[in-house]
Amino acid sequence: MMNRITNLPTLKIDPSKAVSLKYHDIPYQGCAGDTVATALYAGGVRIFGRSLKYHRPRGLYSLDGECSNTCMEIDAIPNERSENLPARDGMVVREQNVKGSAEHDKLSFIDKLDWAMPAGFYYHTMHKPAALWPLAMKQIRKAAGLGRLSPDFRQTGRFDEIFPSTEVCVIGGGPSGMQAALSAAEQGLRVILLEARPWLGGFYDYRTVQDDHAVPLYERGRKLAEKVSAHPGIRVLTHTSLVGTYNNGLVTAFRRGSSEDSFAERYIEIRAKSVVVATGCIERPLLFENNERPGVMQAGCAHRLLNTFGILPGKTAVFAVGHDLGLEAALDLHDQGVNIACIADLRTEGQNPDLLKALESRDITYQPGQTALEAHGKKLLTGVVLGSMDGSSQKTLPCDLLVASAGLTPVSGPLTINKGSVAYDAHTGSFLPDKLPENTRVAGRILGLGDPEAIEASGHLAGLQAAQDCGLDSAADLQKAEQALAELPGPEKGTDFVIGPVSGRKSFICFDEDTTIKNIKQAINKGFDVPELIKRFTSAGTGPGQGGIPDHNLPLFTALYQGSAQESVRPTNRRPPLTPIFLSTYAGRNHDMAKRTPMHDRQKQDGGIFRRLGVWRRARYFSEDLSCRQEVENVRSNVGIFDGSTLGKFRIHGPDCLKALDRVFVSDMHKVKQGRIKYTAMCNEDGCVIDDGVITKMGENDYFFTTSTGRAGATVEWIRYHTRYEGRDFHMVNLTDAFGVINLSGPNARKVIEKVVDQDISNEALPFSGVKGFSIGQNVEVFVMRLGFVGELSYEIHVPSSYMESVWDLLLEAGQEFGIMNFGVEAQNVLRMEKGHIILGQESEQRTNLLDVHLGFLWHRDKPEAKTVGSLALKQAEQDPDRLKLVGLKMQEAKVPGDGCVIVDESRIRGYVCTIRKSFSVDGIVGLALVEGPLAKPGSVVSIYEDECKGNLLKADVVPLPFYDPEGARMKA
């Protein structure tokens, strides 16, 4: 394949398989294994986009997604990390944040205006005169942001989720992570190993240097990876990026699917007993003027472009590094034909002598104690100024590649986001793990280790420590492993060099936000003297790469600038997600966890229009006429059938059950009798009505009660909670889903039901407020309550759920000749309103107590054996005249105000309308409202302020309740 080096043993691409992308409508050929960015790079692309503020050209820098340099729009998705995203045939790629193209951006002149934009400049500008700001804001919005997303965009592909549990979760599939996984698995534990790259190997897989046994590291890595992959106890999840770590061993991640997988991306939530963090290091960016010019890249980036992807990153390279990894990269690049003009190394000691020898044997200029001070080149790098760290002995070298890296920086986010901490370590110049989260172990390079043997030994040890977390006794092995590690080289010496003597005007500490060293100085001078505040004021570290670029340099520079000790300056907080993750991936399958009643399908067939109500889906209407006239009138004149299955249904039994009931219900529960139902209510401590329902006695110390639909979920806990201290002996069974409820209402209701029940159901046999068991259809045992919520002769039939459809059918058949019809939740709402019955939450709210809705008659003030929840508050509220009270309203004019309108006088709001309708059963527009006490007397007139009425108030009379059948003759018939 063109322009690739194809004979390297470290390659991860398959040069024989082409992949074709489109960028600027031009096809680019990559090969299997490429990322989008490497494919483009191989095709000659050097500028991948423009920076946020200054529209500076940006190029490939790290290959690990630490910054937005290579964020691109791919297949209409913004901010894709092209350097990590595997290239796929047919992808359409666009650059971001440009006016024109990445190469020719018309806004690049902004780069010269930096003098006008000191740190936080926007806080000091654009607000004078005030009229300027809205205009300026529009421009800011346009200028800000990187990618573009269409409002019509729809994500395609399958996004799913898994929730595995395991004993040990190892984060990072490098040498130490692999060793940790192996040692834990060898103890018989189940291990999940997460690796962000598509393959295991970590920093081994692209390195050709040899270990002490003359085995190149990449080969050593492969052997280890084979061993890990073959181990039955280890589940390897490659291409899986860590997202978060939480307490109790919760680890979240997501896996990118390949063409063989059934998913595009998969959200993974792992519960582990022990977590091993082996996330290694990334590189610490080197700071100098124009340190992000395309052509400047980190050592690992240049090295992997060559060894992993077979791409020569440049022709003439200068190196400004602070770590042996830089020297290794220089050697490999040189051997493949890159001209290495010079290597400037921050270090004057601590280098691997073998590497120095190898450089010498190749005649590569090596200059210890030197570094880059400034990069040249308008769009692309053309040269670099090298000099001593104090700025002396400067010289300019032409080059098209500058490999720049200050050293390494541990990836400690997985620790610090979960209550772990880091502390500055002078030897390595790094913030190393300090306090670890519970049951969390660390291994490898994150500890500052550099020697391969030591790194692997630390992994081995961490695996054993994890085994200990899992309860295994591995003391002897542990001791051995600790010993072995102690005998190997410890953390490598690193450098705390931050920046040479340059103005810092174009030395970028954060690429994503275009934050310069100069900006940091400005912020500190303004009093933003700790990194967390500097971050907020300058935005450094708040872009797509988060802290990836600035995390290490910011506290170092802050300490340097303030002349304080590095130990005293805390880095900023890292936050999840540690890898940006699609909302679609988090959402996964996004199941709706709704409940359906047994009659759901039948009601659907009958044209029911459903609504989600709490956990339930319920039929609200049975026609497009949302006033439900036909449904309402049919109940009033014939008979309607209603699915009330969502009612809460409970059995409570045991020696103390009555005491428990007395505590939570307001009534004297001793008065509840067999064969009769009692309507009653529950209050909270403020006396607010929280629930109402009916209760009946089934036997000695055995009661059955219903609750409102919304409260059913909380009822058991509520009763348990309020009886928790008394050691009451009772049991509760939630029968809500075990029974369905059919409500048969209307003057013909008895004619229908008597056709199907096995016993006498006349008014004498089952009067109003009675309850009785029947058999329907020969053998279905039901019990039937006589209630009157909608104000008609009504039967509430409780049926075992599995028989609901059969009983429903029998009733429909029997009701045919009497005009039986469905009615839904809204018709019920109208019917009961006409009857003056309240629905909690509709005619009540957090301020409404039992007395306010005229249910005081239910309240037994002084129970001998129980303090009723809410009783104290009710006693206090009795004295309070200004509370909102429930009233009936009748409109004076023909307009129906909407539910929720407020009731006002000249200056104040005095109440509001709860439910109001044009009635089909009584004359006029009637409704229920809550109004202040003094207005609540029948005969008073209230003014209703409806939204958009522009002050034209509607008048209504306060009238006695109920509107319909005040004597109750119909429901008792």
Positions 672 through 691 that interact with other proteins (CB under 8 A): 684-688, 690
Q: 87 with 21: CB under 8 angstroms?
A: yes
Within residues 937-956, the interface with other proteins by CB under 8 A covers 945-949
How far is the C-alpha of 775 from the C-alpha of 189, rounded, in Å?
58
* Among the listed residues 368, 655, 900, 938, the single contact to other proteins using CB under 8 A: 900
| Residue 796 makes contact with other proteins by CB under 8 A | no
Please state the closest distance from residue 480 (CB atom) to other proteins, in A: 37
Going by C-alpha positions, the residue among 111, 445, 499 that lies closest to residue 285 is 499
- The three-class DSSP label of residue 19 is strand
Q: Counting contacts by CB under 8 A, is residue 730 touching other proteins?
A: no
Per CB under 8 A, 735 contacts other proteins: no
Q: Which amino acid is residue 161, in one-letter code?
A: E
Residues 63-82 that bind other proteins (CB under 8 A): 71, 76-79
Minimal distance, residue 591 CB to other proteins, in Å: 9
Report the residue number, 5 or 594, with the smaller CB distance to other proteins.
594
Alpha-carbon separation of residue 193 from 169, 196, 239, 247 (angstroms): 6, 10, 11, 19
Cα angle vertex 613, ends 831, 626, to 5°? Answer: 45
10 Å CB burial of residue 109 (0-12, 13-18, 19+) is exposed
Site residues for other proteins, 401-440, by CB under 8 A, read 417, 419
C-alpha of 728 from chain center: 41
- The reply on whether position 48 binds other proteins by CB under 8 A is no
Query: Should residue 716 be labelled a site residue for other proteins when binding is judged by CB under 8 A?
Result: no
Contact 356, 482 (CB under 8 A): no
Which one of 44, 90, 232, 527 is in contact with other proteins (CB under 8 A)?
A: 527
CA distance 424 to 556: 10
- What contacts 763, CB < 8 A, 6 or more positions away? 750, 973
- Give the nearest distance from C-beta 631 to other proteins in angstroms: 15
Exposure string (b/e) for 704-722, b if CB count within 10 Å is 16 or more?
bbbbbbbbbeebeebbeeb
- Kindly report the backbone phi and psi dihedral angles of residue 480, in degrees, each rounded to the nearest multiple of 5, phi listed first: -60, -45
Residue 263 engages other proteins in binding (rule: CB under 8 A): no
Specify burial of residue 235 (Cβ count, 10 A radius: 0-12, 13-18, 19+): middle
Q: Does 151 bind other proteins (CB under 8 A)?
A: yes
CA distance 630 to 772: 31
Among 184, 581, 712, 757, binds other proteins (CB under 8 A): 581
Contact 277, 258 (CB under 8 A): no
Q: Cβ 324 to other proteins, closest distance in Å?
A: 30
Closest approach of Cβ 620 to other proteins, in Å?
Answer: 8
* Residue 624 near other proteins by CB under 8 A: no
Closest to 269 (Cα-Cα) out of 602, 585, 31, 593: 585
The residue from 7, 44, 115, 150 that contacts other proteins (CB under 8 A) is 150
Apex CA 259: angle with CA 256 and CA 263, to 5°?
50
When the beta carbons of 624 and 948 are compared against other proteins, the nearer one is 948
**Binder of other proteins out of 112, 124, 213, 378 (CB under 8 A):** 124
Token pair in block for residue 505: 């005007």
- Considering only residues 461 to 490 of the shown chain, the ones binding other proteins according to CB under 8 A are none
Among 677, 853, 901, 942, binds other proteins (CB under 8 A): 901
Give the contact letters, 805-844, x = binds to other proteins (CB under 8 A), - = no: ---------------------x--------------xx--
CA dihedral 627, 631, 634, 636 (to 10 degrees): -60
State yes or no: residue 505 binds other proteins (CB under 8 A): no
Question: Per CB under 8 A, does 622 bind other proteins?
Answer: no
- Our finding on whether 625 is near other proteins (CB under 8 A) is no
- Tokens 């194809």 belong to 6
611 binds other proteins (CB under 8 A): yes
Structural tokens at position 786: 């006589």
Residue 142 binds other proteins, judged by CB under 8 A = yes
3-state secondary structure of 494: coil
Residue 577 binding other proteins, by CB under 8 A: yes
Q: Which is nearer to other proteins, 138 or 937 (CB)?
A: 138
| Under rule CB under 8 A, residue 533 binds other proteins | yes
- Per CB under 8 A, does 583 bind other proteins? yes
Contacting residue, 107, 356, 478, 594, with other proteins by CB under 8 A: 594
Task: Identify the residue among 7, 25, 116, 154 touching other proteins (CB under 8 A).
Answer: 154
Least Å from the CB of residue 533 to other proteins: 6
Considering the complex, state which of residue 356 and residue 533 has its C-beta at the smaller distance from other proteins. Answer: 533
Tokens of 144: 């800000």
> Does 586 participate in binding other proteins (rule CB under 8 A)?
yes
- What minimum distance in Å lies between the beta carbon of 155 and other proteins? 4
- Restricting to residues 555-574, name those near other proteins by CB under 8 A: 560-561
Rounded Cα–Cα distance for residues 90 and 262 (Å): 20
367 alpha carbon, distance to own chain's centre = 50
For other proteins, the binding residue among 126, 472, 478, 484 (CB under 8 A) is 126
Residue 163, classified by CB atoms within 10 Å of its CB into exposed (0-12), middle (13-18) or buried (19+), is exposed
For the CB of residue 130, give the shortest distance to other proteins in the complex, in Å: 6
Restricted to residues 93-122, the positions that interact with other proteins (CB under 8 A) are 118, 122
Does 532 bind other proteins (CB under 8 A)? Our answer is: yes
> How far, in Å, CA of 244 to CA of 810, rounded?
56
Please say whether the beta carbons of 63 and 85 come within 8 A.
Answer: no
Contacts of residue 793, Cβ cutoff 8 Å, sequence gap at least 6:
745, 746, 747, 749, 750, 970, 971, 972, 973
Please select the residue that binds other proteins; options are 16, 908, 952, 969, rule is CB under 8 A: 908
Least distance (Å) between residue 269 CB and other proteins: 6
How many of the chain's residues bind other proteins (CB under 8 A)?
Answer: 114
Tell me the window of 82-90, 221-229, 486-494, 611-619 that interacts with other proteins (CB under 8 A).
611-619
Give the interface segment with other proteins, choosing from 292-300, 449-457, 581-589, 920-928 (CB under 8 A): 581-589
CA distance 159 to 157: 6
Interior/surface letters 119-144, b for 16+ CB within 10 angstroms, e for the rest? bbeeeeeeeeeeeeeeeeeeeeeeee
- Least distance CB 790 / other proteins (angstroms): 18
CB of 685 to other proteins, least distance (A): 8
- Residue nearer to other proteins on the CB measure, 452 or 541: 541
963 near other proteins, judged by CB under 8 A: no
For position 256 contacting other proteins by CB under 8 A, the verdict is no
Binding flag, residue 252, other proteins (CB under 8 A)? yes
Interacting residues with other proteins between 837 and 896 (CB under 8 A): 841-842, 845-847, 849, 873, 876-877, 880
473 or 685: CB nearest other proteins: 685
Least distance between other proteins and beta carbon 937 (Å):
22
To other proteins, the closest distance from the beta carbon of 118 in angstroms equals 8
Figure out which of the listed residues 35, 176, 279, 539 binds other proteins, where binding follows CB under 8 A. 539
State how beta strands 191-194 and 234-237 pair.
parallel
Which residue, 78 or 448, has its beta carbon nearer to other proteins?
78
Q: Which of 588, 640, 740, 815 binds other proteins (CB under 8 A)?
A: 588
Q: Are strands 731-734 and 702-707 parallel, antiparallel or unpaired?
A: unpaired
Nearest to 383 by CA among 310, 320, 298, 311: 320
